[in-house]
Amino acid sequence: MRQLYIGGAWIASVSGKAIEVVNPATEEIIDRVPAGAPDDVEAAVAAARKAFPSWSQTAPAERAKLLGAAAELLKERAGDIARIIATDVGSPLGFALKVQTLMPQGVLASYAQLAESHQRESRVGNSLIVKEPVGVVAAITPWNYPLHQIICKVAPALAAGCTVVLKPSEVAPLAAYALTEIFHEVGLPAGVFNLVSGVGPVVGEAMAAHPEVDMVSFTGSTTAGRRVASLAAESVKKVALELGGKSANIILPDADLGTAVKVGVANCFINAGQTCSAWTRMIVHRDQYDEAVRLSVEAARKYTVGDPFDEATRIGPLVSAAQRDRVVHYVNRGQEEGARLVAGGTERLFDRGFYVEPTVFAAVEPGMTIEQEEIFGPVLSIIPYTSEDQAVQIANGTRYGLAGAVWAGTQERATAVARRLRTGQVAVNGGQFNPLAPFGGYKQSGVGRELGEYGLEEYFEVKALQL
């Protein structure tokens, strides 16, 4: 069994208990990680607190050097780590390399640069404004992007001068161990970064409630985010939350319908639909609705489901049996409420593995469960509208506001509609995801931002010296 990483050393959990890690494609146990206990959290927070004074005063150039070395080592090991993620999560290997490994490697490299270049002092009248690291950060991360979500928190926290205690998801924890080994090898000082594996109700809650933790950064479901925020409020911690989404893809009548549908389906099905920012609601003018449904079904049928290590596979398994059952439940619920299943469904595809067919629903109306709730699987809902105002109303009509898209005949028109969406990111006519731009949500999709300078700012306190 693996161990915890606390105070610069690998140590056994005081619990002595293990969590089995399961390959979602084969249902085989591939590893075991410690089921951490509150006493492990106590030790990790103490190590981070002890390391904070020295690390926070370390020259930005030195912090940049260590993060840069970690980014280089991560790049060298990208192939091996991609295979770990393909096995642990079920992402197709090509996607696991390009998106699950090399993209976060680029994010880590960007924070190596920002650690040194970011302006930390400024003048306003007779005041000197100083940014200082917030302190000990508890980072609690999910399973769907098990390396990217860690780096989105840990890299800016370390760049700012904070120390970190990380709890990765127990469902897919192995990428976190690979990153921890890299931090150890590049010589990150003892206690600056600590890893405690375990389940949320035990380890995550102990971290969020700990009085010596200055900030909690959490990515996961909105329900779990509320619990984290509630626990953190007892000691008035700073909290950053990146939560659920139900993002809308608005296709205006003058858009290139074929391209908008093709890209929209691809975005919905990325990582088997296990993406918080996936465009799971396609909103199409009623005059083009039938054609959009036809094109969506045609596109969905091209998404080969299978072994993550088969080059022909475009959709791997869902991460767990529980996740597969959740998605099947929603597919059944959609049919019960009157939506029309036009592709996919709940049929079991293979004897082994947690697979679900790429699924498309037509005749979806605002307010249906599948239109309102985050499914977290390869399920697309297509919703008709009759006016631009109605399209915007439908797009804004959920409790979420994380991402979205608008397609139109001109960038100007698409941008004008994009400005009306209450959401943290909007792709305009297929604009590409930018890992240096701020990422985060409105409404119940979260609090705060990740990535780029906005992500770095989350890990500072701001002090005014009146001169």
> How confident is the model over 230-260, as pLDDT tens digits?
999 999 999 999 999 999 999 999 999 999 9
SS3 content of the chain, % helix, strand, coil (to 5): 40, 20, 35
pLDDT score for 352:
96
Q: Give yes or no: residues 81 and 146 share one domain.
A: yes
**What is the average pLDDT across 99-113?**
98
Q: Give yes or no: residues 239 and 326 share one domain.
A: no
CATH number at residue 266: 3.40.309.10
Going by DSSP bridges, is the β-strand pair 4-6/9-11 parallel, antiparallel, or unpaired?
Answer: antiparallel
Quote the CA–CA distance of 251 and 414 in Å, as a whole number.
9
Tokens of 164: 């970190």
Mean of the per-residue pLDDT values for the chain?
98
Q: Give yes or no: residues 180 and 293 share one domain.
A: no
Answer yes or no: is 59 within a domain: yes
Answer yes or no: is 133 within a domain: yes
Quote the CA–CA distance of 250 and 253 in Å, as a whole number.
10
> How confident is the model over 329-338, as pLDDT tens digits?
999 999 999 9
What band does 273 get if pLDDT is binned at 50, 70 and 90? very high
CATH number at residue 23: 3.40.605.10
**For the whole model, what pTM was predicted?**
0.97
Answer yes or no: is 369 within a domain: yes
Q: Give yes or no: residues 51 and 79 share one domain.
A: yes
> How confident is the model over 168-218, as pLDDT tens digits?
999 999 999 999 999 999 999 999 999 999 999 999 999 999 999 999 999
Tokens of 257: 């319908």
- The number of folded domains in the chain is 2
pLDDT score for 43:
98
Q: Give yes or no: residues 135 and 276 share one domain.
A: no
Answer yes or no: is 156 within a domain: yes
Tokens of 5: 């990483």
Answer yes or no: is 439 within a domain: no
> How confident is the model over 29-73, as pLDDT tens digits?
999 999 999 999 999 999 999 999 999 999 999 999 999 999 999
Helix ranges restricted to H, 58-102: 60-76, 78-88, 93-97
Stated as kind and residue range, the H or E segment containing 222 is helix 222-233
Tally Cβ neighbours within 10 Å of residue 336.
10
Crossing angle between the packed helical segments 289-300 and 257-269, to the nearest 10 degrees: 50
Cβ atoms of 149 and 37 within 8 Å: the answer is: no
The boundaries of the domain holding residue 380 are 248-434
Quote the CA–CA distance of 106 and 451 in Å, as a whole number.
11
Tokens of 81: 């780590």
Could you tell me which of 46, 48, 44 has the C-alpha nearest to residue 189? 48
pLDDT score for 1:
84
Q: Establish whether 152 is a catalytic residue.
A: no
Residue in this structure with the two tokens 């990535």, named with its chain if needed: 451
Tokens of 388: 């631009």
Quote the CA–CA distance of 216 and 344 in Å, as a whole number.
39
Q: Establish whether 242 is a catalytic residue.
A: yes
Q: Give yes or no: residues 70 and 135 share one domain.
A: yes
Give me the catalytic one of 242, 371, 450, 458. Answer: 242
In the chain, the percentage of residues whose pLDDT exceeds 90 is 99
pLDDT score for 408:
98
**What is the average pLDDT across 11-23?**
97
Which CA distances in Å does 77 have to 8, 80, 110, 365?
21, 5, 18, 47
> How confident is the model over 225-235, as pLDDT tens digits?
999 999 999 99
**What is the average pLDDT across 326-355?**
96
Answer yes or no: is 365 within a domain: yes
Q: Give yes or no: residues 284 and 376 share one domain.
A: yes
Quote the CA–CA distance of 153 and 84 in Å, as a whole number.
21
Tokens of 389: 């105002």
In the chain, the percentage of residues whose pLDDT exceeds 70 is 100
Answer yes or no: is 107 within a domain: yes
Q: Give yes or no: residues 229 and 304 share one domain.
A: no
Q: Give yes or no: residues 226 and 302 share one domain.
A: no
pLDDT score for 41:
98
What band does 406 get if pLDDT is binned at 50, 70 and 90? very high
Q: Give yes or no: residues 198 and 284 share one domain.
A: no
What band does 344 get if pLDDT is binned at 50, 70 and 90? very high
Answer yes or no: is 331 within a domain: yes
Torsion of CA 270, 276, 394, 422, to 10 degrees: -130
Q: Give yes or no: residues 146 and 259 share one domain.
A: no
Q: Which residues pair with 315 in a beta bridge?
A: 305
Residue in this structure with the two tokens 């979260």, named with its chain if needed: 446
Quote the CA–CA distance of 459 and 160 in Å, as a whole number.
6
Q: Give yes or no: residues 35 and 100 share one domain.
A: yes
Give me the catalytic one of 152, 162, 268, 276. Answer: 276
